[in-house]
């Protein structure tokens, strides 16, 4: 006879389930072992206890293991590796109560392991059938009648009167469904009239609600895992199609640069953000929260305080997101956690039982973080830090704690930092970060890299004992860290720092000077920005203008479009920060691969080739009309250009021109340009030239479309080189066909000093880059002779590969002399 093991977080729950199942056996004996709780009262699971229970339950015919929650599955999987002798074991995803009863009865009749497992997994069919046939059942709140668990692969399981869909995909993201891709999934499904569930078929974990960020992250879905997505409801088919499309795009995740492990060994410190930092230590001490268990007032008072804390933190995170600029996506997961219905329902139930809001919130987030912390993947485990960061931020608001910040020049030392804390740091004052814990892939470190602050992580708790003011030296590129360095060591670090800073200082000193070639040709160097803060940085960095203002920052992360007044205010803020420099406002560039929750779109098999950019806004003319109205108001007193994304046909440009004339007849002199992102647009530049004032080449998309190679796809990323001769020929077509219109490049290649000679040689007259790159690009231009650039570009067009072009760049004299 087979044996059965019950794995549960709660010993009391497991014991009650076994007692109930035993009552159904009518004195027949089945070996049922319990591996539940860390002890009789402490919740948790222990892989060693599970392994011991399996060994005790196995009489030779095999063991069926039933588990309650995701981390119980992980413990059970680990237990299989711990078993000292081979055992025939089946991990079963059945509901623990119904599955245990059915399995026990079936096993008592002598059924084999496969039959018992099958019966257990189908134990809910009777309940589902009864609920579907009940005319009075109204289902759970917000859930269609008969929703229940999703069907297994290839099966049914949804109510006959509701649309149902099921599909399977493989996770391709390097680090699986951690916080950011999980947040992208939750956002993608907003507004869908369907209940969507995910099941990890590889591990047996789930199903979980795809609307809950904490539950999706706790699935433990790693690269290569197969996941089942199922949906019921009016939009079920579309919802599943969206998830499958998103999975095919790797959940729109851009790979983060990896830092090599420090030579200092596996105990750390580890490199995290490159650069040299030397200065006095400024320990940042984290205060512990004294969390009250009882509310201080009525339930209504407690709810009001909690709601206010959530609103306050939402405002703080939104502000931090805007300060983060290009790294703002990190905070999307934090905002979604504040809206996670499963977490909030847990808090609501606890408060209603008389628990304080602080204790309820801390308990819910601690439990969610503990589940993520038990995942087997190191990268995914670091995402528990996001849950703790949001936990502490809300607790700080609830309990009146003031978050400590650093205003003095020095190296910050802390156990760990939240993304919000890093966003608060001033790169002009903070010259380095040392973390006792942390990971080079944490969101905090990603923000530090974006801010250019050198950092090392995993240094160990001993760094927390460093006395404030002590000199410390760190190399964020190698992980080297020295506290109180002696004279020779300090001199070594200072030499390295001086070498790295010398060129940056020289470039920065001349940043506000024109970028003029050796033969007297001036090239405008502009900034790509998406906020007032970045506009300020652009001015300080010496930008001649804002060559690309991504207006999407106003439209994302909200449930309705900004009105005309809000847009006008935002654009005026950017114009004011740039003090009279021209700003090029690109109209809304979303849709397809970047959907908006308040702009319904049908699912697309390939959103990169779908309704996006100008195609979307022409389908929603009120969106475009409002944005053009706001732009026109700003243009009345400021130099403003409007840039249209994803234009592929002259009729699209003409339609916008007409809408602009009808909306703003007084803005006839407003400069209008188009993005060149599609090869066909580049090939017919001459057809557009008489209708625009300028062209802006988006080399990121142009390269992707021309080479059929997505940069985010590791398998073909090496092909997506903007210096491929085919891409260069498209840029050449634009420059030759532009007539009197200006030609700018706003893609990443514009920030590559090695590529600048070819771009100028092809005829580009403006380069638009991220603000920190402006001084470097200006300096590079001043070292060039345009006649030499033209010869180099002519040679590059004759090359066969991007590698050949780069060899020509590295040895220009040999090819153009």
Residues 247 and 154 in one domain: yes
Encode pLDDT of 263-277 as tens digits.
333 456 887 777 899
Res. 433 pLDDT band, cuts 50 70 90: very high
Encode pLDDT of 655-714 as tens digits.
999 888 888 767 656 899 999 999 999 999 999 999 999 999 998 889 888 888 765 444
Average pLDDT for 41-67: 86
Residue 54 is assigned to a structural domain of this protein = yes
Residue 188 is assigned to a structural domain of this protein = yes
pLDDT at 444 over 60: yes
Residues 73 and 220 in one domain: no
Residue 728 is assigned to a structural domain of this protein = no
Look over the chain and give the mean of its residue pLDDT values, rounded to a whole number.
Answer: 80
User: Domain boundary at 462, 487, 512, which?
Assistant: 487
Cβ partners under 8 Å of residue 731, min gap 6:
682, 697, 699, 702, 745, 759, 762, 764
Residues 282 and 304 in one domain: no
Cα–Cα distance for residue pair 779/504, rounded to 1 Å: 10
Q: Say how many CA atoms lie within 13 Å of 118 toward its Cβ.
A: 5
Residue 440 is assigned to a structural domain of this protein = yes
Residue 443 bears catalytic tag = yes
pLDDT at 468 over 70: yes
Q: Residue 518 has what DSSP assignment?
A: T
pLDDT value, residue 381:
52
SS3 helix, strand, coil % of the chain, rounded to 5?
Answer: 45, 15, 40
Residues 16 and 91 in one domain: yes
Domain that holds residue 375: 299-399
CATH classification of the domain holding 453: 3.50.30.10
Residues 368 and 480 in one domain: no
Encode pLDDT of 749-760 as tens digits.
888 888 899 999
Residues 415 and 282 in one domain: yes
pLDDT at 607 over 70: no
Residues 111 and 75 in one domain: yes
607 φ/ψ angles, rounded to the nearest 5 degrees: -65, -25
7 φ/ψ angles, rounded to the nearest 5 degrees: -110, 115
Residue 628: strand, helix, or coil: helix
Residue 588 is assigned to a structural domain of this protein = no
Cα–Cα distance for residue pair 228/155, rounded to 1 Å: 11
Higher-confidence position of 750 and 43: 750
CATH classification of the domain holding 186: 3.30.1340.10
Residue 182 is assigned to a structural domain of this protein = yes
Encode pLDDT of 128-148 as tens digits.
544 544 443 333 333 332 333
CATH classification of the domain holding 364: 1.10.274.10
Q: How many CB atoms lie within 10 A of CB 485?
A: 17
Residues 117 and 9 in one domain: yes
441 φ/ψ angles, rounded to the nearest 5 degrees: -105, 5
Average pLDDT for 609-634: 87
Cα–Cα distance for residue pair 5/14, rounded to 1 Å: 10
Residues 414 and 279 in one domain: yes
Is the alpha carbon torsion for 645, 648, 650, 652 positive or negative?
negative
Tell me the pairing of strands 270-273 and 455-457.
antiparallel
Task: Give the rounded percent of residues in the chain with a pLDDT score beyond 90.
Answer: 29
* 781-790 residues labelled b (16+ CB within 10 A) or e (exposed): bbebebebbb
Is the alpha carbon torsion for 291, 293, 295, 299 positive or negative?
positive
Residues 227 and 281 in one domain: no
Encode pLDDT of 715-730 as tens digits.
554 577 889 999 999 9
pLDDT value, residue 162:
56
* SS3 readout for 687-745: HHHCCCCEEEECHHHHHHHHHCCCCCCCCCHHHCCCCCHHHHHHHHHHHHHCCCCEEEE
Residues 420 and 381 in one domain: no
Q: Which of 735, 746, 789, 799 is catalytic?
A: 746
Residue 476 is assigned to a structural domain of this protein = yes
CATH classification of the domain holding 57: 3.40.50.510
Residues 394 and 408 in one domain: no
Residue 379 is assigned to a structural domain of this protein = yes
User: Domain boundary at 399, 431, 462, which?
Assistant: 399
Domain count, the chain: 4
User: Domain boundary at 487, 521, 553, which?
Assistant: 487
pLDDT value, residue 287:
57
Q: Residue 116 has what DSSP assignment?
A: H
Q: Which of 443, 524, 735, 789 is catalytic?
A: 443
pLDDT at 236 over 90: no
């Amino acid at each position: 006879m087979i044996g059965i093991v019950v794995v549960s977080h709660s010993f009391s729950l497991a014991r009650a389930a076994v007692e109930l199942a035993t009552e159904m056996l009518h004195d027949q004996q089945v070996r049922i072992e319990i591996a539940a709780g860390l002890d009789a009262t402490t919740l948790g699971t222990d892989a060693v206890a599970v392994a011991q229970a399996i060994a005790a339950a196995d009489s030779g015919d095999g063991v069926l293991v039933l588990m309650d929650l995701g981390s119980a599955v992980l413990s059970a999987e680990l237990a299989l590796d711990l078993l000292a002798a081979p055992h025939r074991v089946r991990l079963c995803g059945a509901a623990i109560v119904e599955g245990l009863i059915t399995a026990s009865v079936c096993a008592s009749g002598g059924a084999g392991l496969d039959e018992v497992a099958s019966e257990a997994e189908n134990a809910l069919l009777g309940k589902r059938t009864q609920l579907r046939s009940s005319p009075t059942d109204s289902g759970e709140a917000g859930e269609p009648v008969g929703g229940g668990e999703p069907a297994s692969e290839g099966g049914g399981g949804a109510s006959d009167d509701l649309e149902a869909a099921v599909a399977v995909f493989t996770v391709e993201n390097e680090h699986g469904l951690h916080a950011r891709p999980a947040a992208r999934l939750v956002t993608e499904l907003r507004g869908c009239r369907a209940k969507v569930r995910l099941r990890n078929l590889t591990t047996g974990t789930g199903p979980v609600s795809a609307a809950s960020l904490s539950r999706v992250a706790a699935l433990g879905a790693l690269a290569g895992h197969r996941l089942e997505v199922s949906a019921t409801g009016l939009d079920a088919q579309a919802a599943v199609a969206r998830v499958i499309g998103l999975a095919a795009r790797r959940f729109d995740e851009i790979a983060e640069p990896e830092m090599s492990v420090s030579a200092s060994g596996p105990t750390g410190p580890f490199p995290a953000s490159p650069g040299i930092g030397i200065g006095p230590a400024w320990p940042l001490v984290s205060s512990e929260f004294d969390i009250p268990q009882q509310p201080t007032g009525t339930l209504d008072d407690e709810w009001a305080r909690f709601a206010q804390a959530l609103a306050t933190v939402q405002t703080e995170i939104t502000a931090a997101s805007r300060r983060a600029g290009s790294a703002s996506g990190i905070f999307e997961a934090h905002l979604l956690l504040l809206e996670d219905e499963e977490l909030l329902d847990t808090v609501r139930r606890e408060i209603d039982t008389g628990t304080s809001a602080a204790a309820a919130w801390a308990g819910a987030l601690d439990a969610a973080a503990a589940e993520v912390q038990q995942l087997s993947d190191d990268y995914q485990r670091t995402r528990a830090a996001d849950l703790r960061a949001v936990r502490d931020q809300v607790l700080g608001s609830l309990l009146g704690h003031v978050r400590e910040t650093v205003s003095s020049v020095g190296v910050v030392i802390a156990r760990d930092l939240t993304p919000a804390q890093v966003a608060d740091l001033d790169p002009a004052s903070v010259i380095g970060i040392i973390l006792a814990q942390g990971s080079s892939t944490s969101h905090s470190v990603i923000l530090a890299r974006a801010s250019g602050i050198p950092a090392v992580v995993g240094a160990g708790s001993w760094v927390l004992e460093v006395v404030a003011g002590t000199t410390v030296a760190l190399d964020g590129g190698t992980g080297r860290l020295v506290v109180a360095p002696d004279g020779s060591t300090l001199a070594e670090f200072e030499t390295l720092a001086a070498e790295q800073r010398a060129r940056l200082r020289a470039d920065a000193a001349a940043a506000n000077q024109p970028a003029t070639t050796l033969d007297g040709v001036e090239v405008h160097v502009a900034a790509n920005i998406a906020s007032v803060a970045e506009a300020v940085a652009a001015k300080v960095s010496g930008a001649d203008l804002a060559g690309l203002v991504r207006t999407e920052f106003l439209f994302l992360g909200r449930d309705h479009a900004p009105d005309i007044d809000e847009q006008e205010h935002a654009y005026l803020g950017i114009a004011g920060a740039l003090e009279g420099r021209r700003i090029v406002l690109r109209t809304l560039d979303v849709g397809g691969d970047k959907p908006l929750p308040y702009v319904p779109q049908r699912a697309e098999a390939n959103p990169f080739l779908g309704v996006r950019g100008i195609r979307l806004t022409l389908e929603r003319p009120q969106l475009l009309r409002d944005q053009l109205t706001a732009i026109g108001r700003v243009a009345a007193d400021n130099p403003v250009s409007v840039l249209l994304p994803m234009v592929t046909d002259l009729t699209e440009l003409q339609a916008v021109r007409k809408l602009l004339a009808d909306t703003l007849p007084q803005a006839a002199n407003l400069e209008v340009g188009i993005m060149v992102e599609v090869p066909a647009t580049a090939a017919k530049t001459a057809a557009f030239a008489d209708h625009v004032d300028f062209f802006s080449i988006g080399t990121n998309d142009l390269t992707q479309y021309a080479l059929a190679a997505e940069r985010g796809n590791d398998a073909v990323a090496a092909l997506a080189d903007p210096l491929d001769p085919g891409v260069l020929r498209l840029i050449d077509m634009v420059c030759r066909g532009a007539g009197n219109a200006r030609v700018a490049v706003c893609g990443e290649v514009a920030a590559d000093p090695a590529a600048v000679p070819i771009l100028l040689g092809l005829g580009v007259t403006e380069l638009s880059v991220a603000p920190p790159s402006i001084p470097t690009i200006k300096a590079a231009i001043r070292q060039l002779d345009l006649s030499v650039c033209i010869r180099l570009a002519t040679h590059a067009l004759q090359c066969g590969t991007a590698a050949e072009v780069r060899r020509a760049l590295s040895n220009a004299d040999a090819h153009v002399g």
